[in-house]
């Protein structure tokens, strides 16, 4: 029996297991197979191999399935060959900042000091890369007052408008900010709403904010966490807990069994997980995520948390957590694991669960700097990115081949931490104390894909592609390589 003699529903089942080259070859064998592949094959492969990307969302809505798959395939090849375009997104700020990034399907927002800078995502006119254009900026306070510097930032649901931000400030205030842009203007108009019901953390710094569905969470520098249900009017705190430690970051997961992960400098629980039960936080941790030996836990802290990439060896479960630690290690924990870290009597606590051992630990062997930020995605949706505390270095690992990691300096080589990093299928957005930047692994990047900037000290334009020279090195050999 020939393949063409099989019923179409059987052939469609076969299409699920075919890689892209085989789908392309099959579509060229006959008109009937061409129709099957174009109608079902490309869509099946896209659905089975997700490539989450906020900045490409609008372009993907207008691209045909074959074009989407072509873009993803070429991007994956660029990740494999370390081929990318490095671009700063703005000139250096007038003073050193501790910027924050937030992203949704409409725009990328950079908060530096008390100013918000917005970049809108667009769709390419032809076969080019989806563009990013500068929308404008706005200050949330009339005077330069560090007490009103933005220290935490995230988008919150607003019926798809993509304009509403939850901002935390240095003085402990929480505010909702809705940004508008007048036609042909580079100045944004913010509508700021500060409500006592959002639970001000004053006088502590708001270190982190998270939002998922109808729930939003804020965390102060002293470890006071507050969860609010946005479906209730006026907004009311559904639960509050005190971590009793210097705290840095949060991560909220609403998949399966919802939970919140907290990163702190606690000696016994620097990375703790609290379940969300009926919209409220559990007061005691349901899991503590440690190192291989809890004896070393007291010498570290957790600054960044994210979920694992969709194509991780452990599956796409939200029960996999990625964290960046003070000791320069990126750790992967599986909440489903039963592997406990070795404990010592001094670290034991009868009221807390024993710490779980990581299922994978990653680090740049040529750097001892703390990890300030982490994100997941990248080529084949199997990469991790980590922003270092010095030298504007971003490290990457393909968790399918964890020993082949590499690192790259940000454009401009700012002597700065990478305070925030956002990893997508083909793009990596980051921010140092001087400016935001992007690495683009996608095809067809042109000079017009990103805002064009006048020459700046420390930036050397490349001749072959519309980007700048940056230095990268391999973790395996430590050899320095220019990105040619």
Q: pLDDT tens, 167-206?
A: 999 999 999 899 987 766 677 788 887 765 566 788 899 9
Q: 458 pLDDT band (50/70/90 cuts)? A: confident
What's the count of helices (H) and strands (E) in the chain, helices before strands?
Answer: 6, 31
Residue 234 has pLDDT above 70, yes or no: no
Q: Is residue 92 part of a domain?
A: yes
Does residue 398 sit in the same domain as residue 481?
yes
Does residue 72 sit in the same domain as residue 13?
no
Its domain, for residue 20, covers 3-48
Q: Is residue 449 part of a domain?
A: yes
The pLDDT of 445-472, averaged and rounded, is 88
Percent pLDDT > 70 in the chain is: 90
Q: State residue 483's pLDDT score.
A: 45
Q: Is residue 240 part of a domain?
A: no
The pLDDT of 271-294, averaged and rounded, is 88
Does residue 39 sit in the same domain as residue 69?
no
Q: 351 pLDDT band (50/70/90 cuts)? A: low
Q: State residue 337's pLDDT score.
A: 84
Average pLDDT, the chain: 88
Residue 347 has pLDDT above 70, yes or no: no
Q: 233 pLDDT band (50/70/90 cuts)? A: low
Domain count, the chain: 2
Does residue 30 sit in the same domain as residue 77?
no
CA–CA separation, 347 vs 417, rounded Å? 31
The pLDDT of 316-339, averaged and rounded, is 92
Q: 293 pLDDT band (50/70/90 cuts)? A: low
Does residue 62 sit in the same domain as residue 33?
no
Q: State residue 480's pLDDT score.
A: 47
Residue 299 has pLDDT above 70, yes or no: no
pTM greater than the 0.85 cutoff: yes
Chain centroid to CA 303: how far? Answer: 14
Q: Is residue 121 part of a domain?
A: no
Residue 15 has pLDDT above 80, yes or no: yes
Percent pLDDT > 90 in the chain is: 58
Q: State residue 229's pLDDT score.
A: 81
CA–CA separation, 455 vs 482, rounded Å? 20
Of 162, 180, 186, 181, which is closest to residue 57 (Cα–Cα)? 162
More confident position, 396 or 341: 396
Q: Is residue 89 part of a domain?
A: yes
CA–CA separation, 210 vs 165, rounded Å? 11
Residue 259 has pLDDT above 50, yes or no: yes
Q: Of 29, 48, 67, which closes a domain?
A: 48
Q: State residue 295's pLDDT score.
A: 57
Does residue 435 sit in the same domain as residue 476?
yes
Q: 484 pLDDT band (50/70/90 cuts)? A: very low
Does residue 39 sit in the same domain as residue 65?
no
Bridging pattern class, strands 371-377 and 271-277: unpaired
Q: Is residue 445 part of a domain?
A: yes
Q: State residue 74's pLDDT score.
A: 94
Of 251, 261, 249, 259, which is closest to residue 221 (Cα–Cα)? 249
**Do 324 and 302 meet the contact criterion of CB atoms below 8 Å apart?**
yes
Q: Is residue 119 part of a domain?
A: no
Residue 453 has pLDDT above 80, yes or no: yes
Of 21, 131, 121, which is closest to residue 70 (Cα–Cα)? 21
Does residue 420 sit in the same domain as residue 480?
yes
Residue 14 has pLDDT above 50, yes or no: yes
Cα–Cα distances (Å) from 320 to 212, 259, 307, 331, 401, in that order, read 17, 12, 6, 10, 18
Does residue 407 sit in the same domain as residue 463?
yes
The partner residues of 436 in beta bridges, in order of sequence, read: 431
Of 76, 12, 80, 79, which is closest to residue 40 (Cα–Cα)? 12
Q: What sign does the CA torsion over 437, 439, 442, 448 have?
A: positive
Q: Is residue 414 part of a domain?
A: yes
**Mean pLDDT lowest among 38-42, 247-251, 457-461:** 457-461
Structure tokens at 371: 């990890």
CA–CA separation, 5 vs 41, rounded Å? 18
Q: State residue 417's pLDDT score.
A: 97
The pLDDT of 362-387, averaged and rounded, is 95
Residue 305 has pLDDT above 70, yes or no: yes
- Radius of gyration of the chain from its Cα atoms, rounded to whole angstroms: 23
More confident position, 159 or 264: 264
């Amino acid at each position: 029996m020939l393949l063409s003699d099989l019923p179409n529903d059987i052939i469609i089942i076969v299409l699920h297991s075919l890689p892209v080259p085989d789908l392309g070859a099959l579509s060229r064998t006959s008109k009937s197979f061409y129709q099957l592949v174009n109608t079902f094959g490309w869509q099946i492969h896209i659905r089975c191999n997700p490539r989450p990307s906020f900045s490409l969302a609008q372009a993907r809505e207008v691209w045909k399935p074959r074009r989407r798959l072509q873009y993803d395939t070429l991007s994956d090849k660029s990740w494999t060959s370390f081929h990318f375009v490095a671009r700063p997104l703005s000139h250096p700020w007038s003073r050193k900042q501790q910027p924050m990034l937030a992203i949704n399907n409409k725009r990328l927002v950079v908060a530096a000091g008390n100013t918000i800078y917005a970049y809108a995502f667009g769709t390419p006119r032809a076969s080019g890369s989806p563009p990013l254009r500068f929308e404008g900026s706005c200050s949330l306070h009339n005077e330069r007052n560090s007490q009103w510097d933005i220290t935490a930032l995230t988008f919150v649901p607003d019926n798809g408008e993509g304009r509403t931000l939850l901002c935390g400030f240095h003085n402990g205030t929480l505010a909702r900010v809705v940004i508008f842009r007048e036609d042909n203007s580079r100045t944004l108009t913010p509508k700021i709403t500060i409500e006592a019901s959002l639970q001000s953390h004053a006088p502590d710094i708001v270190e982190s904010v998270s939002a998922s569905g109808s729930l939003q969470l804020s965390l102060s520098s002293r470890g006071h966490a507050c969860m609010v249900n946005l479906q209730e009017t006026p907004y009311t705190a559904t639960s509050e807990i005190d971590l009793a430690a210097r705290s840095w970051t949060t991560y909220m997961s609403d998949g399966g069994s919802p939970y919140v992960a907290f990163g702190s400098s606690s000696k016994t629980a620097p990375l703790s997980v609290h379940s969300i039960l009926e919209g409220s936080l559990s007061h005691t941790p349901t899991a503590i995520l440690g190192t291989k030996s809890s004896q070393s836990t007291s010498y570290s802290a957790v600054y960044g948390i994210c979920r694992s990439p969709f194509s991780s060896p452990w599956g796409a479960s939200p029960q996999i957590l990625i964290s960046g630690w003070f000791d320069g290690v990126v750790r992967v924990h599986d909440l489903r694991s039963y592997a406990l870290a070795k404990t010592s009597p001094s670290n034991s606590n009868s009221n807390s669960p024993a710490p779980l051992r990581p299922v994978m630990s990653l680090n740049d062997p040529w750097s001892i700097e703390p990890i300030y930020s982490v994100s997941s995605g990248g080529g084949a949706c199997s990469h991790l990115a980590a922003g270092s505390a010095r030298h504007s270095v971003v490290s990457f690992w393909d968790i399918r081949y964890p020993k082949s990691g590499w690192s790259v300096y940000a454009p401009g080589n700012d002597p700065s931490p990478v305070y925030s990093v956002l990893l997508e299928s083909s793009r990596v957005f980051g921010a140092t104390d001087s400016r935001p930047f992007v690495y683009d692994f996608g095809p067809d990047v042109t000079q017009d894909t990103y805002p064009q900037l006048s020459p700046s000290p420390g930036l050397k334009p490349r001749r072959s592609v519309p980007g700048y020279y940056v230095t990268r090195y391999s973790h395996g050999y430590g050899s320095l390589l220019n990105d040619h």
